[in-house]
């Protein structure tokens, strides 16, 4: 994985901070994020859980834990986390889409589509189009076209969310094609880019 050296350095740094400030909830969140980026998913969840124990108010902001739940197949808890997140961030397509993905994996695609929550004002055009695609209102080519018009970041997000969609549809060939492209061709400095790398690693899509 790219940057693995610097991630190990970051992990060491957060270990030291937590050692000196064991009640610092934000430090646990940051270490949990680094653990996730290193594909240490169980360790990331432990960190997010400690953060919540230290400060219960952060629960609706722990979207990172929802992502970690997805990768250890705790889909019901993942869907619940994203629902809670939406109470403080109602216009975020990503929260809604990850809830969809968790429900699709636990209860089936039909149930996920029927319970897709409404999001209208996400400022990112590519994510608006991703939402339309998950709702069944446009094609994969519409998503890719908007992504292309928004440069490397748009390309990354369009490919990632198409890949995730096709994985829950059990179309593994398309899922692998899109997620590997997102990870390999559209490198961005973003937590979700690391997620694409983690996805590849966990699925063995080298």
**DSSP state, residue 40:** -
Q: pLDDT at position 184, please? A: 97
Per-residue pLDDT averaged across 14-31, rounded? 97
Q: Evaluate if residue 5 carries a pLDDT over 70.
A: no
Q: pLDDT at position 206, please? A: 81
Q: pLDDT at position 120, please? A: 81
Q: How confident is the model at residue 90 (pLDDT cuts 50, 70, 90)?
A: confident
C-alpha span between 111 and 26 (Å, rounded): 35
Q: pLDDT at position 175, please? A: 98
Tens digit of each residue's pLDDT (9 = 90 or more) over 40-58:
999 999 999 999 999 999 9
Q: pLDDT at position 91, please? A: 85
Q: How confident is the model at residue 1 (pLDDT cuts 50, 70, 90)?
A: very low
Taking residue 195's Cβ as centre, other Cβ atoms within 10 Å add up to: 22
Q: Evaluate if residue 59 carries a pLDDT over 80.
A: yes
C-alpha span between 187 and 181 (Å, rounded): 10
Q: Evaluate if residue 3 carries a pLDDT over 60.
A: no
Tokens of 6: 């610097």
Q: pLDDT at position 67, please? A: 98
Q: How far is CA 105 from CA 55, 93, 99, 204, in A?
A: 30, 18, 10, 19
Q: How far is CA 51 from CA 42, 45, 142, in A?
A: 14, 10, 40
| Long-range interactions of 58-63: CB distance < 8 A, separation 24+ | 58/25, 58/29, 59/84, 60/84, 60/85, 60/87, 60/88, 60/89, 61/85, 61/88, 62/29, 63/89, 63/94, 63/95, 63/98
Angle between helices 140-149 and 125-134 (to 10 degrees): 170
Q: How confident is the model at residue 4 (pLDDT cuts 50, 70, 90)?
A: low
Per-residue pLDDT averaged across 116-142, rounded? 95
Mean pLDDT, rounded, of the chain? 95
pTM (predicted TM-score): 0.95
Q: pLDDT at position 33, please? A: 98
Cβ-contact 38, 8 below 8 angstroms: yes
Per-residue pLDDT averaged across 138-151, rounded? 98
Tens digit of each residue's pLDDT (9 = 90 or more) over 74-89:
999 999 999 999 999 8
C-alpha span between 129 and 114 (Å, rounded): 18
Per-residue pLDDT averaged across 111-123, rounded? 92
């Amino acid at each position: 994985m790219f940057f693995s050296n610097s991630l190990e350095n970051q992990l060491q740094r957060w270990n030291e901070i937590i050692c000196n400030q064991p009640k610092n909830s934000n430090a646990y969140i940051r270490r949990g994020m680094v653990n996730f980026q290193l594909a240490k998913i169980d360790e990331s969840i432990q960190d997010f859980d400690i953060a919540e124990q230290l400060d219960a108010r952060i629960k609706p902001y722990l979207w990172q834990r929802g992502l970690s739940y997805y990768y250890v197949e705790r889909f019901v808890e993942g869907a619940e986390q994203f629902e809670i997140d939406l109470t403080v961030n109602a216009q975020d397509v990503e929260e809604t889409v990850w809830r969809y993905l968790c429900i699709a994996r636990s209860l089936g695609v039909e149930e996920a589509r029927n319970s897709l929550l409404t999001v209208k004002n996400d400022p990112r055009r590519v994510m608006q189009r991703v939402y339309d695609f998950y709702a069944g209102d446009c094609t994969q080519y519409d998503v890719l076209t908007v992504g292309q018009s928004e440069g490397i970041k748009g390309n990354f997000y369009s490919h990632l969310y198409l890949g995730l969609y096709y994985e829950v549809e059990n179309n593994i060939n398309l899922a692998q094609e899109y997620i590997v492209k997102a990870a390999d061709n559209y490198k961005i400095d973003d937590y979700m880019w690391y997620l694409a790398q983690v996805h590849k690693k966990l699925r063995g899509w080298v």
